[in-house]
Amino acid sequence: MTQRPRLLRYAAISVTAALLTIALKGGAYLLTGSVGLLSDALESVVNLIAAMIGFFALSVAARPADADHAYGHTKAEYFSSGFEGALILIAAAAIIATAARWLAAPHRIAEPGLGLAISSAATAINYGVARVLFRAGRQYRSITLEADAHHLMADVWTSAGVIGGVGAAALTGWYWIDGVVGIAVGLHVLRWGVNLLRRSMDGLLDTSLSEETRRTIISILEARAPEGVRYHALRTRQAGARQFISFHILVPGNWSVQRGHDLLERLEEEVRAAVPDSSVDTHLEPIEDPLSWEDDRLERPPEGQRGTPSTPFPSEE
């Protein structure tokens, strides 16, 4: 987590790229009057707003835990990505409305060659920045940087469509193509906004860790089965870059407190090593006591999917 503040530099790159592409795409629109290029420029405005919000969210997420936020501030990233998703939906509506007005009264596209060259340069910038943000987002498990990267890549693909559409309209004289491309861009942006909102909501609702990560944790716990050790009540959740894991360990009742404590310490260390940036909570119980398995405060799966004291639970409860 000590490297998390470094993410601000990636957010700063995103802000700078958004400013530059707005200038380039805005200039291309002013030269050509193309509604397709205008829709592309409007999406870059959304990129700028989203990048600025992302910068703020990452600065909050990098703060250490305190008395009022014992689990840290990493969930701030979900608010950022959710707000970005809402902005994308607004931008999509504006793009579609503008393109629809163009279809009602299409007109000639001026200076298409120069305008498309400028837009192509802006698209190349977005592509390069998106690749950088993808790598950083995956390395640091930052949904804010991943959201920016996906948004920029969506911009790259829509820009490619706009460039093709404007070029086709200029070559054929069918200027209505420009409006159709604008609507297609708007629908594509709309879909991305909905997906981003859904992912942000999942994060705020404490979605479990990936199936691959859960299998890794289970393999660590099941490795203790030969020692007469069992587990249950495995729960996981994601909060920004932080990962939270809890489980109960059942051991023979004749074990000493020290022996049980030492086992929990080893298990927690193994899980933290396998799942970086994770907080691990454990609870020790005697395996012979039926109450260890029937704690009604635990949320349990339907009858028939539960384990027994002789076998580990195969998955999360």
Question: What is the model's pLDDT at position 288?
Answer: 86
Question: What is the model's pLDDT at position 299?
Answer: 53
Question: What is the model's pLDDT at position 36?
Answer: 67
Question: What is the model's pLDDT at position 2?
Answer: 45
Prediction pTM value = 0.55
**The domain at 4-204 falls in which architecture?**
Up-down Bundle (1.20)
Question: What is the model's pLDDT at position 4?
Answer: 53
Euclidean distance between CA atoms 315 and 205, whole angstroms? 20
Question: What is the model's pLDDT at position 263?
Answer: 92
107-119 pLDDT, tens per residue?
Answer: 666 666 777 788 8
- Copy the structure tokens of residue 300: 């349990």
37-46 pLDDT, tens per residue?
Answer: 777 777 777 7
The partner residues of 281 in beta bridges, in order of sequence, read 246
CATH number of 211-293: 3.30.70.1350
Residues of the chain with pLDDT under 70: 1-6, 35-36, 62, 70-72, 102, 105-112, 178, 240-241, 294-317
Domain with CATH 1.20.1510.10 in the chain: 4-204
Question: What is the model's pLDDT at position 295?
Answer: 56
Domain with CATH 3.30.70.1350 in the chain: 211-293
- Copy the structure tokens of residue 302: 């339907």
